[in-house]
Structure 1
Amino acid sequence: MLYSALGAIMTMSAVFRITILLSTLLLLGKIPAAAAQEGPLVLAFYYAWFDQNTWTSGQSVDLPAEPYNSADRAVIERQVGQAQSAGIDAFVQSWYGPQEGGNQTETNFRTLLDVAGARGFKAAVDLEVTSPFLGSIPTVTDALAKLLATHAQHPAYLRYQGKPVIFFWRQQQFSVEQWTAIRDQVDPNRATIWIAEGTELAYQAIFDGHHLYSIAWAASPADQLAKWASRVRAYAAENGFNRLWVATVMPGYDDTRLPRADAFAVPRRNGEYYRETWQGAIASSPNMVIINSFNEWPEGSHLEPSASYGNLYLDLTRELVTALRGSPPPAPAAATSPTAEPVATPTGPYITAEEGANIRSGPDTAYERIGQLAAGSPIAVIGKTSAGDWWQINFPRGSDARGWVNAEVVTFTGDAGAVPVVETPSPSEASLTGLTLQASATPTTTLETAGAAPTIKVPAGGVNLRSGPGLEFELLGRLDEGAEAVVVGQSETGEWWQIETNAVEAGLAWVANAVVDVSGDTAGVPVIEFDQPTATLTQTPTATVPPTPSITPTPTATEVIIAGTIEVTDPINVRAEPSTDGELLGGLYLGDKADVLAVSKDGDWWQIDFPAGPEGVGWVAAEFVRFQGDQQAVPIFGLGTVTPTPRATNTPTRTPTPDRLPTLAELPTLAPTATSIYQPTAAALLAERGTPDPALTIVPEEPRASFDWGDFPWGILSLVVIAAFLWYQFYWRRRGLS
């Protein structure tokens, strides 16, 4: 019996020691793994639309230490150097799309990439889905395709795990299904990383990561960051995804100088708020940290050196990054010449375009144009035609992720004999769709297509007719909903169609591709070269009003005729007159509606029912709203309309206007201006909705069915084992030996 008792004691002791050892290893085993991980990327939101008007607008609670113009290359170089010295890895710049005219987010981003490339820095875009140039599925699809074909190929474009990173603002404009179709078209092989924002995790079905943009609405930023990190990971795990969590850090927030009904401020507390949000972000174990922001001055979330705080927040960022990574950030790299060779050059044969080159789906100009090669960026060559007149490259949007570039417009480097010949069907054998944007010095007059010429059809709201392919050209008139016209030419960029129409005296006019529906085979539509106009949009075009024998005067206040309504497609100002010089009365947000009372002579402005304005009316730019109703019945302001049909009652039913009346800067050329506030940010929207503490229905808070050893209560088990051992040692053992 003694030997049995001793054996039992030895067995229990061994079990106890093994249990304690295993518990310790399991608890401590997580520490080396976390410590071994490379620290998360540190990014910062960056805005590129400021000028001297910003600093005199009175809409910022603070001012930069050195007021500047965002288009100044020297300013961008200074800002990149400041960010590098603080340990920031990349800027994420708000981007309105690839359009060049009146869009400095495009032109300034190009400069940012060049400066970043020269200094060893990185940059990515935050694609604003509801920007003045985008907002529809075709325009967003085209913007993404061009982004992937140009900027994303730049050596300085931000990559994560080898893939270009794209942030999105207001992806809620489209459904998950619509985004799936967009991505299948522009990124079928998922060769990029898409980061969504907001509080709707359902978009993680097609996006690759999530961020909140703002955390200023939270009473406890650390708690909310932890909750949202858990929600993102839980949703991903339950659906079999691998998703990224991007945690937001903010130095403070103050938009009280902006005319927002829901404006609020979060005190900085001399940097303590910044430290708290940073610590909360790091504690949530993010894949990336994003600072909101480097220079969002109107919302008071900047860390750029300022008149009020000097370099405090750059210094704090450097301190926090040093603690995160264990060493201070390296000194910023010295700027190299802007014409220096790209830092990433393929090891094998490659091509380079001096001024950009079209990428096509096949080795012929009759094939669809699917993108454009960025100027100065080397691209590896993977194939060629038997004649050696076309090079094949890797391209995500192409068939089988391939594309073709004409050898005549690029420079080849390497051994051409080592490049394999790739056999492809001729254009006549292939099924070709889309645009053929072949450069042509002398446009032809006959389309190279079999069958009927392509046509455009005008959607709801009508479209403007211009004298040339761009918003800077003279406005000639409008086409109403349902009108059709034959396409006879296209711009070099493929963004405008030249059409035949009797609506203008010359019989030819231009319409934007983004706002019309095109049918028919557009392959072979000739390119029409056009010089830039000498006049600008500041000149008011003369409206041509056809004579009519019976004109009804413009209705008075007592006999309002409402011929339709407008729905706001992008937040916009309401003015007292149909001009950007008119007095600013307030604004309308995305989705707001108002009754239409009249249209300006040039068709560019709608007079609407606006209770906050003089006599209860105001004016909005037609290009930022969608018209619904009978355009023919809308009176022309100052002239009236032909026999309009009034409502049964002379007292109109007015659509209530929201109490919130943001002052939104006007866009004479659709350019983001110094005081551009197109819509409330995520911070303002979340403050309006309230803190999203309740668990989302798509992310159950109850324990998941799948078991995780990391959730096992090893500490409690260890205590139970110790208690059992002591009980056995001092009670049961003595009882057995007595």
Structure 2
Amino acid sequence: MKPRGVWLAAALMSVITAGCGTGPAVSQQPTHPGSGTPAAVPGVSRTPATVYVHYYLWWTVQHWNDKLGPAYPYSTAPLPGSIDAQGCNPSVSYSGAQIVDVPSEGLYDQTQGVTFERHVQLASQAGIKGFLADWQGTGSTTQGPNSSGYNSRFDLMVKTVDAYNSAHGSSFSLGLAYASFGDYARPASQVIADLQYFVSRYGSDPAFRNGYSPKPIVMWLNSRKYSPQAIQAISHAVEPYVYLLGDETAASWPNDGRYLDGTSYYWSTQDPWNNSRAGSAVSELANLVHADGKQWFAPFIAGYNKQLMGGTCVERRGTQTLTELWQLNSATRPDGWFGISWNEFVENTYLEPSKRYGSKYLDALSALIKKGS
């Protein structure tokens, strides 16, 4: 896989050194149907929804060990704990465990391409358009695919998607979910270096083709938590080369929207049962984004549970939470959907087949995708 060439690096560096200025112009309009999609007409088939799902790249042998603890019987890989009927109030069965479920396929290793191949096949068969691969680079201007474990796994995932699409005549897609890992004061120069590396190595890779822009999708996770100066500088450096989507709210979009091509909202705790603003908070954001002529990508979850780590729980209620949020967020007329998540087991938002649930959630999502929005 070759870089796009010297011209791209030079162009990016010229933008970086230019400093901050006015916000970038909106990118070329996407080919995907926009926010004016009409309501369904009885008897008329609806187009399947375009869904990407957040996908985490940290599941190595060591990471499973960190999350399951030394007492877990890895050779048999049983359920590591229990939860109640609604998906809350977890209890672990092995000292040191931080999760209560594991994948149906076992404790997979993302340093192996066959892992990505299985997941791409499962997702593609369910009608999912692509994964938003969670990644952060080293921040170095000289980084490469072997500079870190994350870089290596990300590179392997891209190669696997390309090979899968070539072998199956399919068009499964990747987007980048650029991670902050809680460091919102990270120097803008390091974020720019990461995204410069991403564009140089992957900007023209067919795995990143999408129906929204000729540029690769990049969702900047927690964008709203960076300083205004950092948002402006990073956008000026990379927005000409990526379809830059934020992670914004109705409160932050008026300030940050000028630097973005659109947004989603990584709302992993959206609770339709106990939060009276679960719908209005999303619709207010969607209305602001569409009023600016930009693209809105609605989130959805099947549930959330971080109680073992001191957090909260959003009940799964079987598949009711998934279907309720799909219906609720459909009212925002999304240009696409960004689901949370394929494989986040610590926060229990995972949709992939698991030992506890089987394929229940992937099957339910597949039905929603086919139904459309």
User: Scaled by the length of structure 1, what TM-score is found?
Assistant: 0.37
Q: Does 1:127 align with 2:181?
A: no
Q: 1:47 aligns with which of 45, 50, 56?
A: 56
**CA deviation vs aligned residue, 1:310-350 (integer Å, no higher than 9, x gap):** 1111111111112128xxxxxxxxxxxxxxxxxxxxxxxxx
Structure 1: state its 5+ residue gaps: 1-28, 326-738
Give the counterpart letter for 2:136 in structure 1.
Y
Q: CA RMSD in A?
A: 2.9
Query: What's the offset of the Cα at 1:246?
Result: 1.1
Maintained 8 Å contact 1:254/1:299? yes
CA distance in 1, matches of 2:186, 2:49: 32
Query: What's the offset of the Cα at 1:234?
Result: 3.0
Match of 2:263 in 1: 210
Maintained 8 Å contact 2:340/2:350? yes
Q: Does 1:60 align with 2:111?
A: no
Q: Does 1:269 align with 2:317?
A: yes
Q: Give the greater-gyration-radius structure (CA).
A: 1
Q: 2:222 aligns with which of 170, 183, 191?
A: 170
Match of 2:11 in 1: none
Maintained 8 Å contact 1:48/1:71? no
Distance 1:271 1:235, change over 3 A: closer
Distance 1:296 1:222, change over 3 A: farther
Q: Secondary structure at the match of 1:218?
A: coil
Structure 2: state its 5+ residue gaps: 1-36, 70-96, 166-171
Query: What's the offset of the Cα at 1:215?
Result: 4.6
Q: 1:244 aligns with which of 295, 308, 315?
A: 295
Distance 1:108 1:209, change over 3 A: same
Distance 1:48 1:274, change over 3 A: same
CA distance in 2, matches of 1:203, 1:253: 28
Q: Which has the higher contact order (CA 8 A, sep 6+)?
A: 2
Identity across aligned pairs (percent)? 22
**CA deviation vs aligned residue, 1:119-144 (integer Å, no higher than 9, x gap):** 33111111123577992111111111
**CA deviation vs aligned residue, 1:446-465 (integer Å, no higher than 9, x gap):** xxxxxxxxxxxxxxxxxxxx
Query: Which range moved further: 94-103 or 74-83?
Result: 94-103
Match of 2:157 in 1: 112
Q: Kindly report which structure 2 residues correspond to 1:196-207, keeping only aligned pairs within 5 A, or say none.
A: 196-199=246-249, 200-201=252-253, 202-207=255-260
CA distance in 2, matches of 1:135, 1:289: 28
Query: What's the offset of the Cα at 1:278?
Result: 1.7
Query: What's the offset of the Cα at 1:216?
Result: 2.0
Query: What's the offset of the Cα at 1:163?
Result: 2.6
CA distance in 1, matches of 2:48, 2:113: 31
Distance 1:316 1:205, change over 3 A: same
Q: Secondary structure at the match of 1:247?
A: strand
Maintained 8 Å contact 1:91/1:123? yes
Q: Secondary structure at the match of 2:244?
A: strand
Distance 1:43 1:218, change over 3 A: same
Maintained 8 Å contact 1:96/1:134? no
Higher helix share: 2
**CA deviation vs aligned residue, 1:435-494 (integer Å, no higher than 9, x gap):** xxxxxxxxxxxxxxxxxxxxxxxxxxxxxxxxxxxxxxxxxxxxxxxxxxxxxxxxxxxx
Higher strand share: 1
Q: Kindly report which structure 2 residues correspond to 1:575-614, keeping only aligned pairs within 5 A, or say none.
A: none
Query: What's the offset of the Cα at 1:236?
Result: 5.4
Q: Secondary structure at the match of 1:116?
A: helix
Match of 1:311 in 2: 359
Give the counterpart letter for 1:75 in structure 2.
T
Query: What's the offset of the Cα at 1:68?
Result: 1.1
Maintained 8 Å contact 1:48/1:104? no
Maintained 8 Å contact 1:233/1:243? no
Query: What's the offset of the Cα at 1:63?
Result: 1.3
Q: 1:74 aligns with which of 98, 114, 120?
A: 114
Q: Secondary structure at the match of 1:224?
A: coil
CA distance in 1, matches of 2:339, 2:304: 12
Q: Does 1:257 align with 2:308?
A: yes
Maintained 8 Å contact 2:283/2:331? no
Q: Does 1:292 align with 2:292?
A: no
Maintained 8 Å contact 1:45/1:91? yes
User: Scaled by the length of structure 2, what TM-score is found?
Assistant: 0.70
Match of 2:282 in 1: 228
